[in-house]
């Protein structure tokens, strides 16, 4: 099994940190008028928002992190790496296509939908059926991660349609999607030590 470079661990670890720090700081800059439970991250990234540049930079950083991780995640199956990298590119595109301060944006919404879809399916596409595969790339954990992402994304769509807790649902799905690459990379780096341990 080819090793994962250390810089992939750094990029995968930075992804959730950048995203969460971005929406936290942007929300603080927006002030008490912003409700993170009901309002989406896109509100923070909209033209005219107080934290526009912070949220835009965070989304761009998230996308770059995913693309770098995809390059370094060598033990994963190629289709999964491509989907992760493309999901990162979609996140970067979301940053380049901010919505207007009022109303929706078809281009922004389409980029978000594509990114959600790619980042939801990459775990399954990256999985390895061999028993020697790192834990994060085994079929059951990979399928579980994908199911969690799909279910939380569906919850987000329902809340968005009914003007409910869309902000909370969106944060859940994006948090899961940003953390999973780190889980996979960590499992790939841990495996060699686990194998070598008994013979050492």
pLDDT single digits (tens) 142-154: 999 999 999 999 9
**pLDDT score of 103:** 66
Which residue ranges make up each domain of the chain? 6-190
Asked whether the beta carbons of 105 and 47 are under 8 A apart, the reply is no
The DSSP output letter for 46 is S
pLDDT of the residue at 101 = 75
pLDDT in tens, 91-139: 999 999 988 877 677 888 899 999 999 999 999 999 998 878 899 999 9
Shortest CA distance to 108 belongs to which of 182, 188, 26, 40? 40
* Confidence check: pLDDT of 194 > 70: no
Alpha helices for the chain (secondary structure H): 6-30, 41-44, 52-72, 78-96, 106-126, 139-161, 166-196
How is residue 50 annotated by DSSP?
T
Q: Say if CB 185 and CB 122 are below 8 A apart.
A: no
Q: Is 76 helix (H, G, I), strand (E, B) or coil?
A: coil
Write the pLDDT tens digit of every residue in 160-179.
889 899 999 999 999 999 99
Tell me the residue length of the chain: 200
pLDDT at 197: 40
Higher pLDDT, 156 or 2: 156
CA dist 30 to 59, 95, 172, Å? 17, 18, 21
């Amino acid at each position: 099994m080819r090793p994962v470079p250390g810089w992939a661990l750094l990029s995968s670890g930075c992804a959730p940190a950048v995203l969460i720090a971005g929406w936290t700081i942007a929300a603080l800059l927006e002030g008490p008028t912003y409700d993170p439970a009901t309002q989406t991250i896109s509100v923070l990234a909209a033209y005219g928002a107080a934290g526009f540049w912070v949220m835009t930079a965070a989304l761009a950083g998230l996308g770059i992190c995913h693309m770098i991780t995809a390059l370094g995640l060598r033990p994963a199956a190629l289709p999964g790496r491509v989907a992760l990298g493309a999901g990162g590119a979609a996140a970067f595109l979301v940053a380049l296509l901010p919505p207007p301060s009022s109303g929706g944006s078809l281009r922004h919404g389409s980029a978000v939908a594509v990114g959600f879809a790619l980042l939801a399916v990459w775990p399954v596409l990256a999985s390895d059926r061999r028993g020697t595969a790192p834990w994060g790339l085994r079929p059951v954990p990979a399928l579980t991660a994908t199911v969690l992402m799909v279910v939380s994304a569906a919850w987000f769509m329902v809340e968005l349609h009914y003007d409910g807790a869309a902000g909370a649902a969106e944060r859940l799905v994006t948090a899961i999607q940003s953390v999973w690459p780190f889980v996979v990379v960590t499992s790939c780096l841990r495996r060699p030590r686990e194998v070598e341990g008994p013979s050492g």
